[in-house]
Amino acid sequence: MSKLMFYERPVALNRERHQHLKLAATPDHYRFAAKTNAVPLMSTELAEAARDHPIVFVGEEGGSFNLAALVGVRDHENLMVDADGQWAAGVYVPAFARRYPFVLARTDGSDQLTVCIDEVYAGLGNETGEALFDAEGQHTPYLQRVLEFLQAFHNDAERTLRFATRLKELGLLVPKVIRVEGPGELRQSLRGLWVVDVAKLRSIDDVRVVELFREGYLSWIEAHLISLGNFSRLLTRLG
C-alpha cells in the first residue's frame, strides 16, 4: 500500500480479524494531524471551510492540482492542533482529517478501493467504543455510516480534481508565494501554492462563465477568494 498522509499502519478492514474491534476517540485524537501546515480539502467543503481557513490550490506545472486548507505557516506545524492533540474549538475540521482512522485505499496489486483502518490508533480496542461488526459479523449502523462517509469523500475528491484541473486549463490559476516576516527578518516562505487570478477570471468569455456557473464552480471560486482573508487570522496563532 502506498504511503498515506496521517496513516502509519493502514490495514484492510476484515470482518474476521476485526470482528470484536471497537473505536473510541481519544482525548488527543487529532495529534496525528499536528505536523502538517496544510490539509487537503474537498470542493464541497469550500463554503464552510472558507469561514476559518485560507484555501489555496496546490500542484506543480504540468501535474495535477487540488485544494488545501492552510492550517499553519511553518513546516511540520499545525496551528489548529494544540499540545493536547485537540483541534481548535469551533474551527472547521476538513473531511480529510475527520475520516481518520478510516480510509479508502488501494491495496498492493489491486486497483479496487478497500476500506482500511490505521491499526496504531490508540482509540481502537475490544472493550469500549463503537463496535464495527455485530455478533454475526455484519456491519453495525456505525460502520455503515463510516462507509457512506468514505464513499462520499471519494466522490468529492474526484469532483475536486476536475474542478482544479479545469481552472488550470482555463489559465485562471497563478502561483502564489506567501512570505511571513518577523521583525527585520524573513521567518517563513510558503511555495507551491496557487490562487485564482481575479483579473483573468473577469476576462474569460461568456461561454466559459456559463460553464463555470453550471458546474457550480463560480461559487467555489468566490469562497476560495474570500477565504484568503483568513491568512491574517492564521498568523495571530503563531507563537
- Residue 10: strand, helix, or coil: strand
pTM: 0.91
Which tens digits make up the pLDDT trace of 164-216?
Answer: 999 999 999 999 887 776 555 556 677 789 999 999 999 999 999 999 999 99
Residue found under cell 461568456? 206
Which tens digits make up the pLDDT trace of 60-97?
Answer: 888 889 999 999 988 899 999 999 999 999 999 999 99
* 109-113, 146-150, 198-202, 230-234: range with lowest mean pLDDT: 109-113
Which DSSP string do the residues of 170-212 spell out, in sequence order?
TT-EEEEEEEEEETTEEEEEEEEEEEE-HHHHHHS-HHHHHHH
Give every CB contact of residue 203 below 8 A, 6+ residues apart in sequence: none
Burial of 78 (0-12, 13-18, 19+ CB in 10 A): buried
Which tens digits make up the pLDDT trace of 28-69?
Answer: 999 999 999 999 999 999 999 999 999 999 988 888 899 999
User: Shortest CA distance to 34 belongs to which of 112, 87, 106, 113?
Assistant: 87
Rg (Cα) of the chain, in Å, rounded? 20
End-to-end alpha carbon distance in the chain: 37
Contact 179, 186 (CB under 8 A): yes
Quick one: CA dihedral 10, 14, 16, 18, positive or negative? Answer: positive
| Per-residue DSSP letter, 111 | -
DSSP bridge pairs for 66: 58
